[in-house]
Chains A and B, each alone.
Chain A
């Protein structure tokens, strides 16, 4: 069985001694056995293609004066089949940090939980909370070390730390971007249209929540892979809070109520 050599990624300090007791706890160099196939590159491409459609989702997050607003839909689809309308796509890493899910659901859930563990260990060891910068970098480094192995993660890490509100986009290619407005998923173009149009830095919490809700709604309206419930979370100085979770079908009729149209021509029985 071919084994990937990840020794170059091992941290410097664990070079001495080499036994895992000395480096203590969570191992830093991941490795697992790869299938022995003649055309490994082709296999890799196929695996990626299989997983790609699963980024059927709409998530968004933006920073504004009062903090960070995070919103997502709740539909999981496998090709044309809607497998669930009630997926929790906003993951609570810890009381002051949220992560969004796009891509492989299992990958996102597992690695966000793993990130939560690492953040807690950092807190215990250093007697202070980890920054959003630090947490997003930890996740990005982990995802980078699994680059090419088929993970599918497109996530945003949103939180409030000592330096104020923070928002980072991290993906399974190993990319990490700092920004103030992001939308991820197949519905993101539609969400960006509404979000970019209505965004102002000095909105109130209610205004920002309504903007986020509307952006998700419009994305679910046009994108078949997004739907279900539009969840909106707010991250402030005291941590995150779930603001609303509205069914997008009901939101449709709220925004576009049915107006009975006057009948133009009546069929008259002759």
Chain B
């Protein structure tokens, strides 16, 4: 009889948890995802790999609701994501039941991260192979937040972050170009970051916008195409304005 209580995630002689690091590799192979926090809007964007013609695109939603005021996007193993999302959704409702209050973004992030950590310290299981970007507005204070968790179970708050494929380039772009934005500007910043690593076009990007009043709203292809066109126009105008050698910042 095989014993399933032996831990798979154990320390290496030089202090690494290799299973966790391999899980991070799986995340790095997953689709690109970006999150940007504005003053009144938070935007999540994911790369949509070309869908097969016969596939119903509505069944492959990559940005999901955890509750009316919290949304999640992730990069990595999608099957693991489904399990984690279900547990998080249950916890959101359980919290509403036991303290008669919706969860704060920090609470549910802490819960998800705690869950991911549990699976790095238990027998017979492997870590979840995904990093999540969690966004939302806190129920009473209406403060917008963006958090990221990873397979090791750590989490932290961000003004803007990216995960998945080519996340480093996206993060560099965001570090260079981030400023406090609101409304449409936040959406544009998120799309610009995604366009750094993804072929442009509404077909390859999925964007969801969260506001305090309207909750989570998925943008449809036409809207995304329109914004992409705006961005390209702005880029072209900026190029034209530069005459001679490019400026060094």
Contacts and interface: CB of A to CB of B under 8 A. Distances in A.
Q: Do A and B make up one complex?
A: yes
Interface of A: 11-13, 16-17, 22, 125-127, 130-131, 133-134, 137-138, 141, 162
Interface in B75-105: 87, 90-91, 94, 98-101, 104
B22 interface: no
Contacts of A11: 94
Given A22-B122, A137-B98, A138-B98, 19 more contacts: A12-B90, A12-B91, A16-B118, A16-B122, A125-B110, A126-B104, A126-B106, A126-B107, A127-B106, A130-B99, A131-B99, A131-B100, A131-B101, A133-B100, A133-B101, A134-B100, A134-B101, A137-B100, A141-B98
B11 interface: no
Nearest to A127: B106
Contacts of A162: 140
Contacts, number: 36
6 contacts: A22-B122, A127-B106, A133-B100, A134-B100, A137-B100, A138-B98
Contacts of B122: 16-17, 22
Per DSSP, chain A at the interface is: helix
A13 B115 CA distance: 9
A241 B122 CA distance: 48
Nearest to B103: A126
Contact of B94 (A12, A126, A130, A134): A12
Q: Is the interface of B mostly helix, strand, loop or mixed?
A: helix
Nearest to A22: B118
Contacts of A13: 87, 91, 115
Nearest to A21: B121
A130 B107 CA distance: 13
Interface of B: 87, 90-91, 94, 98-101, 104, 106-107, 110, 115, 118, 122, 140
Contacts of B110: 125
B117 to A, nearest CB: 11
Q: Ordered nearest first, which 10 A-B pairs have the shortest CB separation?
A: A134-B99, A133-B100, A17-B122, A12-B90, A137-B100, A137-B98, A137-B99, A126-B107, A162-B140, A22-B118
A131 B100 CA distance: 9
A17 to B, nearest CB: 6
Contacts of A125: 110
B40 to A, nearest CB: 21
B83 to A, nearest CB: 11
B51 to A, nearest CB: 34
Contacts of A17: 118, 122
Contacts of A16: 118, 122
A17 B118 CA distance: 9
Contacts of B87: 13
A25 to B, nearest CB: 13
Contacts of A12: 90-91, 94
Contacts of A126: 104, 106-107
A133 B118 contact: no
Contacts of B106: 126-127
B144 to A, nearest CB: 17
A230 to B, nearest CB: 33
Nearest to B121: A22
B61 to A, nearest CB: 24
B97 to A, nearest CB: 8
A97 B98 CA distance: 18
A152 to B, nearest CB: 24
Most A CB contacts (10 A, CB to CB) among B98, B99, B110, B118 go to B99
B66 to A, nearest CB: 15
Contacts of B100: 131, 133-134, 137
Contacts of B104: 126
A105 B87 CA distance: 40
Nearest to B115: A13
Nearest to A132: B100
A43 to B, nearest CB: 32
